[in-house]
Amino acid sequence: QVRMVESGGGLVQAGGSLRLSCAASRSIFSSNAMAWYRQAPGKVRELVARIGVGGDTIYADSVKGRFTVSRDNAKNTVYLQMSSLKPEDTAVYYCNTFPSWNLYWGQGTQVTVSS
């Protein structure tokens, strides 16, 4: 079963930074736009940031100017650099293709931002 493997989450104080990583299989990574999604308790999963094969990016309004998505095609890895974190960023963060496929959801990585 194809899955993404997310890492890098943790507990951080408001205003802090974290860098998330997601490793994917080469066959999936090389030909797809990739994205980070998040799901907070009691809320639906939402798109955080997307990066195309060529490196073009889009961001949710709530994270613009604070988060940066990047990809390393040689390592089949996508990153999410998160800065100026807020308590409302607390969620489980997942990576997937864009658009997403149910088959590819991994376990995610928990990000908790304390006030």
CA atoms within 13 A on the CB side of 29: 19
Residue 113: is it exposed, middle or buried by C-beta count within 10 angstroms (0-12/13-18/19+)? buried
Residue-level pLDDT, tens digit, the chain, 115 residues: 667 899 999 999 999 999 999 999 888 888 899 999 999 999 999 999 999 999 999 999 999 999 999 999 999 999 999 999 999 999 999 999 999 999 889 999 999 999 9
pLDDT of residue 16: 98
